[in-house]
A = this chain, B = another copy of it.
Amino acid sequence: MARIVLKFGGTSVGDIERIRNVARKVEAEVRAGHQVAVVVSAMAGVTNQLVSYCREISPLHDAREYDAVVSSGENVTSGLLALALQEIGIPARSWHGWQIPIRTDGVHAKARIVEIDTTELDRRLSSGEVAVIAGFQGISPQGRIATLGRGGSDTSAVALAAALDADRCDIYTDVDGVYTTDPRIVAKARKLSRITYEEMLEMASLGAKVLQTRSVEMAMKHRVRVQVLSSFEQAPGSALPGTLVVDEDEIVEQELVSGIAYSRDEAKITLIGVADRPGVAAHIFGPLADAAVNVDMIVQNVSEDGTATDLTFTVTKSDLDRAKQVLELAREDLGYRRMTTDPNVVKVSVIGVGMRSHAGVAQRMFAALAEKGINIQVISTSEIKVSVLIAEEYTELALRALHTAYGLDAA
């Protein structure tokens, strides 16, 4: 007997028939003798509708009221799934965030879970009752509803798995696992049977939108074994395995590179002729930080005569206009000669914990791209990742070349 947490996203509970299908999956786990807690999202489309109501009424809305409104979709699905389970003879009850309670730090619309009181859940799970928990929501220290940000139900599930000391946390979604790269672009992409937390974190934050980044951080911190699998492709009980996100120790033979991620949400800014003196970077990025513009990759060229330099960095596409405005206003103060911007770029990254102990990983990337005549504009590296910025039009070509170069192609 194990204790497991299952999480079902919006498309998995998108209509009554699908909710019944979810109930049958839960039933299979219960019949197998497991204690089961289920976390559900709102029906597909519902949260978007509620968000757009809030925006229509009040563009700069009070986040507390926004949370009170947008959290209601999960209240509906948790109650409906409890009913569907009861209907097939499985004891179940729904739980809203405030009923457990799931306590958060109260930062509305992007709250972090601080504590989950599991006393009552523990007791009921042990007695064989399925707990159906509204995802995405908790309460603030002031007793108001606080939501965890888009995709927050993943975080609800992982946090509950940690608090309940669950043996496994299964995230059912509309893809059947984590792939070596985007299978819509690279036909030879393979589903990974296992991936480490660190790699998943890089994949998630780089645009492979399988799991909310925060949920992976939390899984890593609490060593929760997370499994990503499809709610559509499996018959109940007959688990076609998805991808298991686990600790590095659990992966016997680690590949050099596990996956190749990409993000189109990048824009490049270059400041030409910046005075080359100490403190200039802080001088430039200070105003951007004040304007809540997130800066990612940064490259500063060495100047030849030691008086001026060029500075290139990336921001998200949606922040580009704001960043330009801030930099133009501060031009005189910053003392650069000219600014160029380019929104038609993509960041491609090779990811793998194996590269910590192997040299030449970056070199293989540069060679593979050079061979296809793809110019690298910016490079940045971390312990388990090498990222390059290239022109957006080369995205597909680069992904396929790298997938082959690192030996990831399916047989």
Flag whether A66 is at the interface (Cβ < 8 A).
yes
Are B72 and A58 interface neighbours, CB within 8 A? no
A-B contacts besides A53-B76, A58-B87, 8 pairs, CB < 8 Å: A53-B80, A54-B83, A58-B86, A62-B86, A64-B93, A68-B78, A72-B72, A75-B75
CB distance from A302 to the nearest CB of B (A): 52
Beta-carbon nearest neighbor of A134 in chain B: B68
Interface readout for A97-128 with B: 1 if CB under 8 Å, 0 if not? Answer: 01100000000000000000000000000000
Asked if B57 and A83 make an inter-chain contact with CB atoms under 8 angstroms apart, the answer reads yes
**Cβ contact within 8 Å between B65 and A82:** yes
The DSSP consensus for interface residues of chain A is helix
Contacts A86-B62, A143-B99 given; does A57 touch B72 at CB 8 Å: no
What chain B residues lie within 8 Å of A283 (beta carbons)? none
| Cβ–Cβ contact B94 & A57, under 8 A | no
Contact call B57/A84, Cβ cutoff below 8 A? yes
Q: Which of B56, B65, B76 contacts A50 (CB 8 A)?
A: B76
A223 at the A/B interface (Cβ < 8 Å)?
Answer: no
CB-CB < 8 A to A330: which residues of B?
A: none
Give CA–CA (A87, B68) in the complex, Å: 16
Assuming the contacts A68-B96, A87-B57, asked whether A62 and B82 have C-beta atoms less than 8 A apart, the reply is: yes
A144 at the B interface (CB under 8 A): yes
- With A and B bound together, what is the CA distance between A84 and B59 in angstroms? 10
Complex Cα–Cα for A72 and B129 (A) = 24
List of 9 A-B pairs having minimum Cβ-Cβ separation, nearest first: A69-B79, A68-B79, A72-B72, A58-B83, A58-B87, A72-B75, A65-B79, A65-B82, A57-B83
- Most B Cβ at <10 Å: residue of A65, A87, A144: A65
A19 at interface (Cβ–Cβ under 8 A)?
yes
Determine if A191 is an interface residue (Cβ-Cβ < 8 Å). Answer: no
A28 at the B interface (CB under 8 A): no
- A147: shortest Cβ distance to chain B, in Å? 12
Residue of B with least CB distance to A87 = B58
A2 in the interface (beta carbon within 8 A): no
CB distance from A144 to the nearest CB of B (A): 7
Contact partner, A16, options B56, B66, B72, B78, Cβ 8 Å: B56
A331 within 8 A of B: no
Which residues of chain B come closer than 8 Å to A99, judged between CB atoms?
143-144
| Cα-based distance from A58 to B83 in the complex (angstroms) | 6
Q: Which residues of B contact A322 (CB under 8 A)?
A: none
> Would A53 and B16 count as touching, CB distance under 8 A?
yes
Chain B residues within 8 Å of A87, by CB: 57-58
Q: Which residues of B contact A68 (CB under 8 A)?
A: 75, 78-79, 82, 94, 96
| A20 in contact (CB, < 8 A) | yes
A86 touches B65 (CB 8 A): yes
Q: Does A364 contact B (CB under 8 A)?
A: no
Q: Is A61 located at the chain interface by the 8 A CB criterion?
A: yes
Contact of B66 with A79 in the complex, beta carbons under 8 Å: yes
Could you say which residues of chain B place their CB within 8 Å of the CB of A64?
93
A66 to chain B: which residues have CB within 8 Å?
79, 83
CB distance from A49 to the nearest CB of B (A): 10
Measured in the bound complex, the distance between the Cα atoms of B97 and A143 in whole Å is 12
Pairs A–B under 8 Å by Cβ, sample size 20: A16-B53, A16-B56, A20-B57, A50-B76, A53-B76, A62-B82, A66-B79, A68-B75, A68-B79, A68-B82, A68-B94, A68-B96, A69-B75, A69-B76, A69-B80, A71-B75, A72-B73, A75-B75, A96-B145, A98-B98
From residue A380, how far is it (CB to closest CB) to chain B in Å? 41
